[in-house]
């Protein structure tokens, strides 16, 4: 194959990606940049306008929740620096679940800085046995790869990262290995309890998807409902999302900027329950939809 032919093939593949149904996830990711900010105390936001990434300063290194979308590593690194933090200090990454829009920079951090990667046991198994379900195949870069985590998370695990003690639960639904976790953050005077839920999306609970993976009785939808109920009554004063829409993050940030002396809009001890209840009702509606049965 000549250089001209190879280049023509490259342009063809690039055009296919730009014109494909997944183009919005990978084209011009820099346009989703959000100025990083302090959410509360030792909790910081370094994600973009779609996929969330949070950092906790544990006093003994930085703990990062999720690693952004595949192809957005440079934006994430820039955000961390802009926040006044050092990417090299990220000692641990906790992944909410095993989809490519949340583990994008994980391999980079491991290779560059020796960062330890934490992923649930079921999603680690998914990487080994059903890698196609990670959806890494739709990434804009064929060199994006799956990985073996350094630590597998199990239901009920309690782990300590510096001064931060985290309670983990498995909440299967969006993937079999979604996690929920609960921990405290502090501004030096007060502590607030954070709740994090690994994935609410219904895209993996649609009829076509479930049938393709062999769940012809749509059992995972019932499991999803049980997961919501499992952690619904946990004490949560700060609901930490993994997609910005979960808590209307961008509008809350605007409120902080426009009204710096007003109460922190991210502190809301009812937001967690309300959102989980809303997802419960929407899943029940999907289950009653004739087109989805």
Residue-wise pLDDT for 42-58, tens only, equals 999 999 999 999 999 99
Sign of the Cα pseudo-torsion (202, 30, 135, 227, in order): negative
The least confident of 94-108, 134-148, 207-221 is: 134-148
Query: End-to-end distance of the chain based on CA atoms, in angstroms?
Result: 49
For the chain, domain boundaries: 17-292
pLDDT tens-digit series, residues 196-225: 999 999 999 999 999 999 999 999 999 999
pLDDT tens-digit series, residues 245-266: 999 999 999 999 999 999 999 9
Arithmetic mean of pLDDT, 120-146: 91
Radius of gyration for the alpha carbons in the chain, expressed in angstroms and rounded: 19
Q: What is the pLDDT of residue 139?
A: 82
Query: Residue 154: is its pLDDT beyond 80?
Result: yes
Query: Residue 28: is its pLDDT beyond 90?
Result: no
In this prediction, residue 179 has a pLDDT band, given cuts at 50, 70 and 90, of: very high
Query: Three-class SS string for 140-168?
Result: CCCCCCCCCCCEEECCCCEEEECCEEEEE
In this prediction, residue 151 has a pLDDT band, given cuts at 50, 70 and 90, of: very high
Arithmetic mean of pLDDT, 100-128: 97
pTM of structure: 0.95
Arithmetic mean of pLDDT, 89-99: 98
Question: What is the chain's mean pLDDT, rounded?
Answer: 96
Q: What is the pLDDT of residue 18?
A: 84
Q: What is the pLDDT of residue 26?
A: 83
Arithmetic mean of pLDDT, 269-282: 98
**Phi-psi domain of 61 (left: phi exceeds 0; alpha: psi -120 through 50; beta: other):** left
Strands 90-94 and 116-120: parallel
In this prediction, residue 91 has a pLDDT band, given cuts at 50, 70 and 90, of: very high
Q: What is the pLDDT of residue 22?
A: 79
Query: Residue 142: is its pLDDT beyond 80?
Result: no
Q: What is the pLDDT of residue 13?
A: 84
What percent of the chain shows pLDDT beyond 90? 89
Query: Residue 233: is its pLDDT beyond 80?
Result: yes
User: Do the beta carbons of residue 58 and residue 93 sit within 8 Å?
Assistant: no
Q: What is the pLDDT of residue 1?
A: 74
Q: What is the pLDDT of residue 259?
A: 97
In this structure, CATH architecture of domain 17-292: 4-Layer Sandwich (3.60)
């Amino acid at each position: 194959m000549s250089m001209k032919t190879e280049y023509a093939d490259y342009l063809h593949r690039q055009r296919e990606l730009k014109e494909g149904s997944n183009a919005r996830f990978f084209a011009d990711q820099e346009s989703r940049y959000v100025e990083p900010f302090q959410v509360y105390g030792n909790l910081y936001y370094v994600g973009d306008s779609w996929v969330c990434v949070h950092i906790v300063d544990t006093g003994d290194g930085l703990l990062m929740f999720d690693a952004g979308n595949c192809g957005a590593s440079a934006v994430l690194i820039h955000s961390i620096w802009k926040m006044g933090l050092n990417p090299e200090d990220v000692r641990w990454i906790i992944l909410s679940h095993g989809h490519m829009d949340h583990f994008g920079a994980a391999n980079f951090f491991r290779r560059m800085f020796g960062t330890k990667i934490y992923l649930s046991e079921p999603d680690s198994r998914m990487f080994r046995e059903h890698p196609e379900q990670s959806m890494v195949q739709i990434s804009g870069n064929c060199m994006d790869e799956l990985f073996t985590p350094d630590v597998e998370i199990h239901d009920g695990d309690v782990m300590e990262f510096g001064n931060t003690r985290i309670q983990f639960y498995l909440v299967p639904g969006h993937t079999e290995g979604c996690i929920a976790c609960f921990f405290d953050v502090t501004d030096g005077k007060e502590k607030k309890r954070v709740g994090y839920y690994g994935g609410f999306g219904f895209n993996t609970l649609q009829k076509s998807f479930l049938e393709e993976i062999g769940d012809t009785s749509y059992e995972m939808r019932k499991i999803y409902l049980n997961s919501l109920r499992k952690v619904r009554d946990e004490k949560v004063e700060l609901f930490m999302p993994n997609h910005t829409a979960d808590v209307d993050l961008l509008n809350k940030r605007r409120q902080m900027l426009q009204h710096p002396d007003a109460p922190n809009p991210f502190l809301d001890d009812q937001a967690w329950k309300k959102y989980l209840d809303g997802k419960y009702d929407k899943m029940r509606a999907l289950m009653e939809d004739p087109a989805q049965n």
